[in-house]
Amino acid sequence: MIYELLEKHKADFFVMYASSKDPNFYYAVSMKLPDPAFYAIGEDGTEILVVHEMERRRAERESRVKEIVSLSDVGFYEKVKELGVEKALAETYAEILKEHRARKILVPKEFPSFLYKQLSEHFEIEIVSNPFSKLRSVKKSWEIKEIKKASEIALNALKFFLEIVKKERRVEELRRKVELFVYEKGALAEDTIITSGKRSADPHFVGEGIIEKHVIFDIFPKIRDSGYYSDFTRTVIIEKDEEIAEMLKACVEAKNEAIKIIKEGVEAKEIHDKVCDVLESYGYKTIRQKAKEGFIHSTGHGVGLEVHEEPKIFNSEEKLKSGMVFTVEPGLYYEKVGGVRVEDLILVKKNGCEVLTKFSDYVEVIP
């Protein structure tokens, strides 16, 4: 995919400058680097990772990149005094790329401006969507295994929540207990959404105070060892309410109708349109109609090393591929009523899909 991209743009190298907190960088170098480093991949298959001297040995051992260059091997520290850190970095990277006869390079959209500007003096540069985001969107079997582990923990976390909510109604305390449960299972859940009442109308509000008549429970645990996420939501009914029940019915139907059409080759927007079709058929407004209340976000997003990654399940014509993992999460949000959302995590297959978060769509805890 990267070679095709380089060929298409007639470029010699694709380069990144980031720490391993950037999942694309982490995926490319396959090691943890807490501070930013430089990675380049050439059209002839050359891959270079430039790190600080203190990371050299570790990089030689841990990274899948074979050619490790230490900044101190290439005169970086001598340059710093004269040029300052940023310019010295840029000049050092430029020299390395020129040694490999680079003339034109590609950088990702998020490439930092200071390097973009400096390297522009040496090379023709084109800005592209990071090809590693696309590469990462199709999961390898060991990645799917990790996401399945995370999904299993998400489902168990909801079961655990359904037990403890019978006795505990304080949201902060519920969240603390649920996240500790997840941690003990080897994953990490942060900002778990437990929202209730009218404020659940804010899709990203994490929730506070006392549980009211219904709860959006949205958890996205990450396996701590591997860094792979799941993402899963159910709306839990604590006390019956007709308006909420109707909204929930529409969301469940929208989710399940959308899941039915998922398979390799379908376009992302077909999934999104199906969700909008169903919700609109119930009389709710959607983002497709530019609504400010109702269904106001996209249908879903990829999940992997990030909770939000490629592919976007919205209005694009991108064709789904076998091995993609993403959410389908219709929600309805009205300031005067509150919000409702159901979310499953889906693995695309050749002739259909697999739901990685199998759980009843209707969940009640009526005391």
Amino acid, res. 269? K
Q: Considering only residues 82, 184, 242, 317, which one is a binding residue for a copy of itself as defined by CB under 8 A?
A: 184
Alpha carbon separation from 361 to 15, 255, 280, 344 (Å, rounded):
44, 10, 20, 10
Q: Contact at 8 Å (CB) between 364 and 227?
A: no
Q: Residues 65-104 vs a copy of itself: string with x where CB under 8 A?
A: -------x----x--------x------------------
Q: Which range of residues in 29-37, 147-155, 159-167, 340-348 is near a copy of itself by CB under 8 A? A: 29-37
Q: Which range of residues in 162-170, 204-212, 232-240, 244-252 is near a copy of itself by CB under 8 A? A: 204-212
User: Distance between terminal CA atoms of the chain?
Assistant: 55
Q: Considering only residues 67, 95, 110, 270, which one is a binding residue for a copy of itself as defined by CB under 8 A?
A: 110
Nearer to a copy of itself, 15 or 237 (CB): 15
Q: Which residue has the tokens 């990490």?
A: 188
Determine the Cα–Cα distance for residues 292 and 285; give it in Å rounded to an integer.
Answer: 8
Minimum separation from the CB atom of position 315 to a copy of itself (A): 8
Strands ordered across the beta sheet of 309-313: 309-313, 300-302, 325-328, 344-348, 353-355
Q: Considering only residues 9, 58, 87, 321, which one is a binding residue for a copy of itself as defined by CB under 8 A?
A: 58
Determine the Cα–Cα distance for residues 158 and 137; give it in Å rounded to an integer.
Answer: 27
Minimum separation from the CB atom of position 247 to a copy of itself (A): 16
DSSP secondary structure, 186-220, as one string = TEE--S-EEEEGGGGGSTT----SB--SEEEEEE-
Nearer to a copy of itself, 2 or 37 (CB): 37
Q: Considering only residues 7, 173, 208, 335, which one is a binding residue for a copy of itself as defined by CB under 8 A?
A: 335
Beta-carbon neighbour count of residue 333 at 10 Å? 23
Whose CA is closest to 108, among 30, 38, 51? 38
Q: Considering only residues 141, 167, 283, 292, which one is a binding residue for a copy of itself as defined by CB under 8 A?
A: 292
Site residues (CB under 8 A) for a copy of itself? 21, 32-35, 52-55, 57-58, 72, 77, 86, 107-114, 116-117, 127, 180, 183-184, 188, 190-191, 201-206, 224, 290, 292, 296-297, 307-308, 333, 335
